[in-house]
Amino acid sequence: MTFDSQAYAVQLEEKVTRLRDLLAPFDAPEPAVFDSPLKNFRLRAEFRLWREAGERHYAMFSQEDKRTPILIEEFPIASLRINQLMPQLKAAWQASAALSHKLFQVEFLTTLAGDAMITLCYHRPLDEHWHTAASKLAADLNVSIIGRSKGKREVIGHDYVVEKLEVGGRTFSYRQPEGAFTQPNGTVNQKMLNWAYNALGDRQDDLLELYCGNGNFTLPFATRVRKVLATEISKTSVNAALSNLSENAVGNVTLVRLSAEELTEALNEVRPFRRLHGIDLKSYEFGSVFVDPPRAGMDPDTCELTRRFDNILYISCNPQTLAANIAQLHDTHRITQCAMFDQFPWTHHMESGVLLTRR
């Protein structure tokens, strides 16, 4: 793969044009554009292993052909740390039957801060021989290692990596658990966090955050408002977010494990939830809502809920569903800021953000 800067500039402009066209019916301002490094930007990678000529190789498959493997020795879009670890790990499994026997998948997770974790997936139970070999490998490579077999997980080191990101002049520490969602492009994620931090601004009221994940946005947002009520449905992400709030000494956030749809029902007093016991929803003076929904966007009821807030800050990984949600809100809110974040260079995917304010 070549990494031509002119080809990248053309592709980036195509994405900006697509976002501009999608938001044109809503009189959106010109989007701010946040580009990506051309290579070594992806902090996570997953490979199947393919046996050929008696050896296991890293392999991937194209969307069009799921049967023919593409054998890989290096992966230039992945972080330098992943590219450093790939040959070292391969040499280790080639030298060790305990590591290589029935190994079928490898996952790497790294951070801008230099932390790294490798997950090894097996079609067999893991025994003492594996644990001894994997412990030595973890020490040699200075990484954490997770071993996975059917229904079992062995952890050597930590089952998370630690990221450090600077937002608004402050460095935040993030625990990112194995298997949980994290933004894959750390450089662009930091740009996105700073854009959203500035778009929210300093406020004297409260923030409702839906789909908070591991607290990626929650931590810096908490420094901008009186207090935050945040929701997330994934138990793994909730536990990571609670750890991150504690690690960063953030004390004005209440985190509830509810879906956006369930919180909508709670705020509309449709039904009570035990997980909200002891939380006085009426004590919040919400001025803003932040949403970072999955690709499907907000469901109609959640979208309708956001209408009651003066400010709607929306990060989207799917510009089509973003436009559909804005269409539902356009009669009461207008776009005052928008941005395009190139989280996924060399693909058609893009991340975008808008700030909607009440008319």
Q: Report in angstroms the alpha-carbon separations of 196 from 298, 314, 339.
A: 19, 9, 9
Active site annotation includes 351: yes
Q: What are phi and psi of 255, to 5 degrees?
A: -110, 130
Candidate list 121, 303, 317, 338, residue with the active-site label: 317
Which residue is associated with the tokens 């890293």? 58
Beta sheet of 253-256, edge-to-edge order: 32-34, 333-341, 351-358, 311-316, 286-291, 206-210, 228-231, 253-256
Q: How far apart are CA 55 and CA 90, in angstroms?
A: 10
300, two tokens:
């109609």
Q: State yes or no: 105 annotated in a binding site.
A: no
118 close to 108: Cβ distance less than 8 angstroms: yes
Candidate list 154, 163, 262, 351, residue with the active-site label: 351
Q: Report in angstroms the alpha-carbon separations of 67 from 33, 48, 51.
A: 38, 12, 14
Q: State yes or no: 216 annotated in a binding site.
A: yes
Active site annotation includes 166: no
Q: State yes or no: 292 annotated in a binding site.
A: yes
CB atoms within 10 A of CB 234: 19
**Alpha helix positions (H), the chain:** 5-23, 80-95, 97-100, 128-141, 186-200, 218-222, 235-247, 260-267, 300-306, 319-329
224, two tokens:
């901008």
Q: State yes or no: 211 annotated in a binding site.
A: yes
82, two tokens:
């992943």
Q: State yes or no: 337 annotated in a binding site.
A: no
Alpha carbon of residue 184 to chain centroid: 6
Binding residues: 183, 211, 216, 232, 292
Catalytic residues: 317, 351
Known binding site for S-adenosyl-L-methionine: residues?
183, 211, 216, 232, 292
